[in-house]
């Protein structure tokens, strides 16, 4: 890889990090906005009670339940972002202890569900057999993001994309299965370069699923 | 004044509608652009408060379709993106929107301004 290629790759990594950060920050904004309205409603009801309007316990409980639910939602989002932020910490060399593919898939599902929602498709985790890989986890989640984006682009409104893991004779198969029309192979130089770096072969099976064969 | 609020976050839009009702406004809400178009078909709403970023129909597209149905309807946009300075810049450029999380007083002020002078169309 030339120094120029290396710089370009670093920029692509940063761009991907920015894309994910922007999506997560937008979702956190929504969490804060919901908490803001529920807390504001509690404040309104307290003010009214101060002026003599009887308090309705059911309304108070509903607002409190909303706040608690949004705190849990926010916590899930922050934990996923934290996990994502630490992926580049993994060394590239042989000291890399191995990547838990099921954990990466779970993380991808947490990070990219809103992306699916905005495209009016659903993202679902299927069977995830335990599997370890020597693949770099940051590159792997970038590859997944790229594959999912390509899949969402060919899927119809209301379709579901199920992502699963299965052992293979050599390595592991990561399968993206659409509920509707067959997927197409991602036509993106960035995807192809990443797949090559991860020693991963992308192919379509006869059900229209995209299969990523991770060989190491 | 009759107000229609549209945002895909159900708990947000329902609480916002309730807070406007407590302030004396006749406010309905929905989490779906399609439902909003059905609710607005008789043009009984004076103003719509729309989230810009929603699945299916964006706030801007929904505004275009609601305006076709009801040309006298006024609009206020909500956005999860941006900052207070973005809001001021947007207003200076003629597209006024409130940045979430909003202060209810800011929304009420915008509603009253639209009721008095007419808002974005």
Please state, in angstroms and rounded to a whole number, the distance separating the CA atoms of residues A121 and A125.
14
- Cα–Cα–Cα angle for A109, B30, B54, rounded to 5 degrees: 40
Q: What pLDDT score does A84 carry?
A: 95
Three-state DSSP state, A104? helix
Residue A190 reports pLDDT greater than 90: no
Write down the pLDDT at residue B121.
53
- Residue in A33, A66, A70 nearest the CB of B100: A33
Angstroms from A212 CA to nearest CA on chain B: 29
Residue of A nearest to B19 (CA): A41
Distance (Å) from the alpha carbon of A118 to chain B's nearest alpha carbon: 5
State how far residue A6 is from chain B, nearest Cα, in angstroms: 32
Give residue A118's pLDDT: 86
Q: What's the pLDDT score for residue A157?
A: 87
Residue B78: name the closest of B97, B101, B53 by CA: B97
pLDDT at position B86: 56
Task: Say which CATH number the domain at B27 has.
Answer: 3.40.50.2300
Which residue range is the domain that position B87 belongs to? Answer: 2-117
Residue B105 burial (C-beta neighbours within 10 Å; 0-12, 13-18, 19+): exposed
Mean pLDDT of A51-77: 95
Closest residue in A to B7 (Cα) is A30
> What pLDDT is recorded for position A6?
78
Render pLDDT for A91-145 as a digit per residue (tens, 0 to 9).
Answer: 766 556 688 999 999 999 999 998 898 888 999 999 988 888 888 899 999 999 9
Q: At residue A88, does pLDDT exceed 90? A: no
Unique residue bearing structure tokens 């699963």: A164
| pLDDT at position B65 | 94
Of the residues A33, A58, A120, A158, the best mutation for testing chain B's interface (the one with the most B CB atoms within 10 Å of its CB) is A33
pLDDT value at residue A9: 79
The reply to whether residue A36 touches residue B53, judged by beta carbons under 8 angstroms, is no
- Closest-CA residue of A relative to B14 is A37
Mean pLDDT taken over chain A: 91
Determine the average pLDDT of the residues in A68-80.
96
C-alpha to C-alpha distance for B110 and B118, rounded to whole angstroms:
10
Residue A170: pLDDT band with limits 50, 70, 90: confident
pLDDT tens per residue, range B71-109: 999 999 998 876 565 555 556 555 678 889 999 999 999
Domains of chain A with CATH codes: 3-85 (1.10.287), 95-214 (3.30.565.10)
pLDDT value, residue B6: 97
Please state, as a whole number, how many other Cβ atoms lie within 10 Å of the Cβ of residue A99.
22
- Give the ipTM of the model, two decimals please: 0.87
- Higher-confidence position of A61 and A119: A61
* Interface residue B106 vs chain A (CB under 8 A): no
* Confidence (pLDDT) at A201: 92
Show Cβ contacts of residue B26 under 8 Å, excluding neighbours closer than 6 positions: B1, B2, B3
Chain B positions touching A38 (Cβ under 8 A) are 11, 15
Q: Is residue B33 a contact partner of residue B54, using CB atoms and an 8 Å limit?
A: yes
Query: Phi, psi (5° rounding) for residue B120?
Result: -65, 135
> Tokens 């990466």 label which residue?
A104
Q: What is the tens place of the pLDDT at every residue in A108-119?
A: 999 999 889 888
Q: What is the pLDDT of residue B50?
A: 94
**Residue B47 phi/psi, 5° resolution?**
-150, 145
Name the phi and psi angles at A195, rounded to 5. Answer: -60, -40
Average pLDDT over residues A11-32: 92
**Mean pLDDT computed over A184-200:** 89
Q: Tell me the sheet residues that pair with A204.
A: A210
pLDDT digits (tens, 9 = 90+) for A35-48: 999 999 999 999 99
- Rounded to two decimals, the pTM is 0.85
CB A135 within 8 A of CB A214: yes
Residue A216 has pLDDT above 80, yes or no: no
Domain total for chain B? 1
């Amino acid at each position: 890889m030339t120094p120029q290629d290396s710089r370009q790759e670093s920029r692509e990594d940063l761009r991907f990090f920015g894309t994910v950060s922007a999506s997560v920050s937008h979702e956190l904004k929504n969490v804060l906005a919901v908490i803001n309205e529920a807390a504001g409603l509690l404040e309104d009801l307290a003010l009214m009670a101060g002026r003599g309007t009887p308090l309705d316990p059911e309304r108070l409980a509903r607002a409190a339940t909303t706040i608690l639910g949004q705190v849990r939602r926010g916590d899930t989002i922050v934990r996923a972002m934290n996990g994502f932020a630490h992926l580049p910490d993994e060394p590239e060399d042989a000291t890399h202890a191995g990547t838990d593919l099921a954990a990466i898939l779970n993380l991808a599902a947490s990070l990219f569900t809103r992306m699916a929602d905005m495209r009016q498709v659903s993202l679902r985790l299927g069977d995830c057999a335990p599997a370890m890989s020597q693949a770099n986890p940051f590159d792997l989640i970038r590859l997944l993001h790229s594959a999912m984006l390509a899949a969402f682009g060919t899927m119809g409104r209301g379709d579901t994309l199920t992502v699963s893991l299965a052992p293979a004779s050599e390595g592991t198969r990561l399968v993206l299965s659409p509920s509707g029309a067959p997927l197409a192979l991602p036509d993106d130089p960035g995807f192809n370069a990443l797949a090559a770096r991860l020693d991963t072969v992308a192919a379509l099976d006869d059900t229209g699923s995209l299969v990523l064969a991770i060989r190491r | 004044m009759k107000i229609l609020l549209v945002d895909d976050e159900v708990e947000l839009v329902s609480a916002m509608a309730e807070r406007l009702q407590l302030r004396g406004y006749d406010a309905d809400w929905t989490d779906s652009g399609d439902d909003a178009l059905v609710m607005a078909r008789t043009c009984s709403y004076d103003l719509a408060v729309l989230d810009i970023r929603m699945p299916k129909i964006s706030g801007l597209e929904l505004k275009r379709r609601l305006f076709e149905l009801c040309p006298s309807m006024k609009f206020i946009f909500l956005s999860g993106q941006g900052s207070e300075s973005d809001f001021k810049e947007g207003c200076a450029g003629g597209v006024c929107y409130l940045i979430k999380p909003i202060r209810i007083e800011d929304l009420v002020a915008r509603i009253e301004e639209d009721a008095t002078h007419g808002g974005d169309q």
